[in-house]
Structure 1
Amino acid sequence: MTKDGEPFVGKSHGEDFTRVTFIPDLDKFKMSELEDDIIALMSKRAYDVAGATKGVKVYLNGKLLPVRIIMIKFGLFVNSPM
């Protein structure tokens, strides 16, 4: 949060996409590793984005989160056009 660096923009090979990654500054929060509740919170946010965002593929730890497909299949959207 207080350390920043130049963004890395790599070459694209194939489809256009944007990959967002980060390395948390554990020292800033006086942590030696990410705690289970923080990992669970970040994972939940990834599932939230996967379920609520049309036209994107969300991966968590290298695995595609098929949440939106499941939600469409079972009609779990409220007030949302299918």
Structure 2
Amino acid sequence: MQFRVPQFIEIEDQIIGPLTIKQFLYLLAGVGILTILWFYLTLVAFLLIGLPISIFMLALAFYKVNGRPFISLIGSFVKYITKPKLYLWRKK
């Protein structure tokens, strides 16, 4: 009996149009944050705060570094910052 083996198992499913569910949720979170800021801030403050937030959310959704998602780069950066950087070798 023959079975069909999936060929591209490393590619995420595109759920909403050309977007994966992660990309859609990152964009939805960005739009939600920007909507809340729109109602509570003036136009100048909204632009100053909203522009970096929108760039960050777009990077989370679409930017890849060496084929890895941007969120993994952020995780590696946080791990690098929080871990000790001095390694001593002691022979026991």
Instruction: Kindly name which structure, 1 or 2, has the bigger radius of gyration based on alpha carbons.
Output: 2
Q: TM-score, normalised by structure 1?
A: 0.29
Q: TM-score, normalised by structure 2?
A: 0.27
Higher relative contact order (CA 8 A, sep 6+): 2
Q: Which is strand-richer, 1 or 2?
A: 2
